[in-house]
Structure 1
Amino acid sequence: MSNRKAIHYWKCDRPSAFYTLTNDRLTTSDSFLIEKSLMQQLEKWFGNKPFSLRKAGGQGNHITYLAEYGTETYFLRLENGPEGDDYMEIEARVLDLVRETGVPTPKVYAVDATRSEVTFSYQMLEFCNYPDLNKLHKERNLDLVNLAGHIGGNIAKWQSITPAGFGPFDPGLLRDGGQLRGLHKTYPDYYFLNWNKHLNFLVEGGLLNETEAEDMEILVGRHKKYLELDHGCLVHKDLALWNILGNAEGIKAFIDWDDTICGDPTDDLSLLACFHSGEVVEAAIRGYQKIRVLPAHFLTRFWLHLLRNIVVKAVIRVGGGYFDRKSDFFLLGSGATGTSLRDFTKQRIQTACEGLQSLKQIKDL
C-alpha cells in the first residue's frame, strides 16, 4: 500500500489516471471473480440466511452493488485500482465524524482497505434510496438557489472538524492509533503539489497556451501569502450535485468523501463555483454565514481556490476525454455537449484569474 503524499487530487494524479472509469473496464471474468469474493464476505456478515447481490450501476470511479438481506438493503462500494489505494478507511472515519456534526451521511457498517482477504477495498454502507441532485437539476426539478443555502450551511457544520496537518490523510496513522492527520506539514506544500505539472498538462492538451500558463503561475505566486494557514479544516474536495442525495424537499446525504482533505475553509465553497453561477454560490455563502463567519481575506482565498480547483477539473476533463462526451454523461447539463463543457472550463479558468487579479465580486461569475 502507498499513501497519497504525492497526490494533490486522486483522479488526475494517481499513476493509472485516465485509463477509463472503473465500471467500464471490468471484463466478465473480472466481475465474476469480484462477485464471488464479495458473496463470500456477505456470507460472513449475514450467515446462512438468504440474501441477494446485484450491480448498482453508476458512472463514478467505484464498482457498486446492492445487497438485500431480509427487509434491509445495503450499498457496497469497491475500489480495485492497481495502486492498492487504502483511502476507503479514511473516508469511512470521515463519514462518521461528519454525521456527528449534524450533516447527513450514510452509516458505515463495514470497511476494509487492507486487501488481506479480498483483492479490493470495500465499504458496506447504508443505502440512501434517493437520486443525486444533479439528476433532479438536469430534469429542472430543483430550486438550486434555495438548496445552495442549505449546502453552505452544511459546509459550515463540517468545518468544525479540524484535523492536524494538511492535505490528504494518512491511513497508517488512522489504522494504528485512530488519528486523522494530513500528510503535509504546511498548506502551501499541498496547494502547490503538482501545480506546474497540471499547468503543463493543459498546455500539452491544448486548453492553455504557454503564456496563459506562465501568467497563471505568476499570478498565484503573487498571492501565496494568503495560503499560510495555522491550521486547516475538513474539506469534502469533490463537492458537486452528483455527490449529494435528496429530493425537491431537501438534502438526504452527502456522499463520496474519497478525496477529502484537511485544507482551507474557502475550498468547498469555491468548488461550487466550478459548476454554478454567482447567484448560486452567493446563496451558499449566505447559508454558510448563518453558522460560521467567513475567514479573513475571504475573496482572495476564494479566487485562489477556484483557480486551483478548476485547473484540477480541467486536467481530469482533458485527460478523461470529457470534451468528447455527449449529453448523457453525468457532468453535462441537459442539451450540453463536450464542446460546450470545454468552453465553460476555459471561461471559468479565465474568470478565476480575473477574480484573483482584480478581486471581482462572486456575483460576476
Structure 2
Amino acid sequence: MSMTNRQSIYYWKCDRPSAFFALEEREDILETAQIETLLHPVLAKYFGSENVRLRSGNGQGNHLTYVAEYNGIQRFIRIENGPEGDDFMEIEAHVLTEIKSLGVPAPVVYAVDATRHHVPFAYQVLEYLPYPDLNKIHKAGELNFLAVAQKIGENIAQWQAVELEGFGPFDPIVLRKTGKLKGLHPTYRDYFFLNWKKHLDFLVARKFLKASESNEIQRLVLQYEQFLSVPQGCLVHKDLALWNILGEPNEIKAFIDWDDTVSGDISDDLSLLACFHTGTVVAEAIKGYESIKPLPPDFLPRFWLHLLRNMVVKAVIRVGANYFDRKSDFFLIGSDSDGAALKTFTLQRIKMACVGLQNKIQIKDL
C-alpha cells in the first residue's frame, strides 16, 4: 500500500482501512514467532553477530516492540505489521531526527526500513532508553506534574520550529525525493474536516451521541471555521499523552511514538493535553510554551476547536475498540477508575469544548 493512501486519513487509529485492528483484537498478518524468526537475520546484520538476544519491549500501542541486546549494547525495535502495509515509519524516523537536532529529547534512530523488500513488515532500530513512560509514574502518584507540564509546553514550542509545506499527514514520496516534509493537503481546513461527519455519524450510530448533539456540534464548528484559515502548518505530534513521554518524576527523557505526526495548527498539541488533564495542568503547559514563543491572539478559539476535534476522534477510538469496557489496569484509565468513568469523562470533555468555543468557560475551568 502506498503511503499516499493517508490522503484519506485524519487520524490513523480510527480511519485506517482496518480500524481498531491493533486496538481491539490483534489479527496480525504474521504470527509473533514468525516475525521474530524473520527479525533475527536483520538484527544479526545490524549487530554483526547472530548471538543477539531478543525480549519483549512491553509496548502498549499499535506496534510490536522488542529490546535487542548483544555484547552489552541494547536497541529498541518497533515493528509495523498491519494489513495496510503502512510505511509512515520512515516519516516518523525523519521527524525524530529533526526534532532531536532542535534540542527536543527523543531517541536516536539507528535504522528504519518500511520498504518490505527484505522482510514483510516495517521496522525501526532505535536508541533504548531505560525509563518508564510518565503515565506509569503518574498512576503511581510520583509525577511532579505541574513542573513536567511546563517542560512539555516548552518542547511543543521548540518542535514547532520545524519548517513544513502543506497540511495533514506527510507524503513519503516527497520525503524520499527531496528530504523534506510536505503535508498531503493544500489547506488546513481540508485536513480538519476530513472524515468529520463520518466520525460523528459513527458516534450517533453507536449511540454515544444523539443525532441532535451531533448536529449542534457540526453547527457550532461551522460557526467558528474562520479560525481554521491557517497560513502555515507547524509540526504536531498528534498523539501527545503521558504514555508517549519517557522520563522520571521531574524530568522528560524522550518524546516517542510520532507515528501520527502531521503538519497542523499551533494549538493542536496543547489541546491534546486537555483531552486528558485539568485546566491547571494545561495552563502550566501554556506557560512553558509562552516562555519560548508567544501564542497568537486567536489562540483560544483555535484551542477549543482542536479540543473538540480531538475528543471526537478519541471517542470514535474508545467506542470502536471497546475502551469503556476496560478496567483500571488499562493504560488509559486511572488507577482508581474504570471504563464507565472514562465514558463519562469523554462525553463531558466534548461538551466542555463546545462551551469553551462559545466563550463561556476558560481553560482553567477544565
Q: Secondary structure at the match of 1:238?
A: coil
Residue in structure 2 matched with residue 21 of structure 1 by the alignment:
23
Alpha-carbon distance in 1 for matches of 2:80, 2:293: 35
- CA shift for structure 1 position 175: 1.4
8 Å CA contact 2:24–2:321 kept in 1: the answer is no
What 5-or-longer segments of structure 2 have no aligned partner?
A: none
The correspondence of residues 216-365 of structure 1 with structure 2, limited to 5 A, is 216-358=217-359, 360-365=361-366
Change (3 A) 1:63 1:22: farther
Q: Is the 8 A contact 2:44 2:51 kept in 1?
A: no
The corresponding residue for 2:105 is: 104
Give, in angstroms, the shift of residue 22 of structure 1: 8.5
| 1:5 alignment partner in structure 2 | 7
The 1-side partners of 2:50 and 2:119 are apart by 22
Q: Tell me, what secondary structure is at the counterpart of 1:211?
A: helix
Amino acid at match of 1:168: P
Matched, 1:43 2:44: yes
Amino acid at match of 2:161: S
Q: Equivalent residues in 2 for 1:113-132 (5 A)?
A: 113-132=114-133
Contact preservation (8 Å) 2:147, 2:250: no
> Aligned partners of 2:167, 2:333: CA distance in 1, in Å?
32
Residue 308 of structure 1, CA deviation: 0.3
- The CA distance in 2 between the partners of 1:21 and 1:317, in whole Å, is 9
CA displacement 1:5-26 (0-9 Å, x = unmatched): 0000000000101134388445
C-alpha deviations, 1:204-248, integer Å up to 9, x for none? 111110000000001000111110011110000000000000001
What are the residue-to-residue correspondences of 1:54-65 with 2, within 5 Å?
A: 54-65=55-66
Whether the aligned pair in 2 keeps the contact of 1:20 and 1:320 (CA below 8 Å) is no
The alignment's TM-score, normalised by the length of structure 1, stands at: 0.97
Distance 1:18 1:220 in 2: 27
Q: Which amino acid in structure 1 is aligned with residue 303 of structure 2?
A: F
Count of residues in Structure 1 that have an aligned counterpart in Structure 2: 364
Aligned residue for 2:201? 200
Query: Does the CA-based 8 Å contact 1:22-1:61 persist in structure 2?
Result: no
Q: What secondary structure sits across from 2:356 in the alignment? A: helix
| Distance 1:24-1:84 versus aligned 2 partners, 3 A rule | closer
CA root-mean-square deviation = 1.3
8 Å contact 1:159–1:234 — kept in the other structure? yes
Please, which runs of 5 or more residues in structure 1 have no aligned partner?
A: none
Equivalent position SS for 1:16: coil
Give identity over the alignment, percent. 59
| Conserved? CA contact 1:203–1:210, under 8 Å | yes
TM-score with structure 2 setting the length:
0.97
Letter matched to residue 12 of structure 2: W
**For the residues of structure 1 that align with 2:105 and 2:341, how far apart are their CA atoms?**
34
1:168-219 Cα shifts (integer Å, max 9, x gaps): 0001111122121000000000000000000001111111100000000010
The answer to whether structure 1 residue 144 and structure 2 residue 145 are counterparts is yes
Q: Residue 169 of structure 2 aligns to which amino acid in structure 1? A: P
Secondary structure at the aligned position of 2:58 is classed as coil
Post-superposition Cα deviations, 1:293-343, rounded to whole Å, max 9, x if no partner, equal: 002301000000000000000000000100000110000011210000000
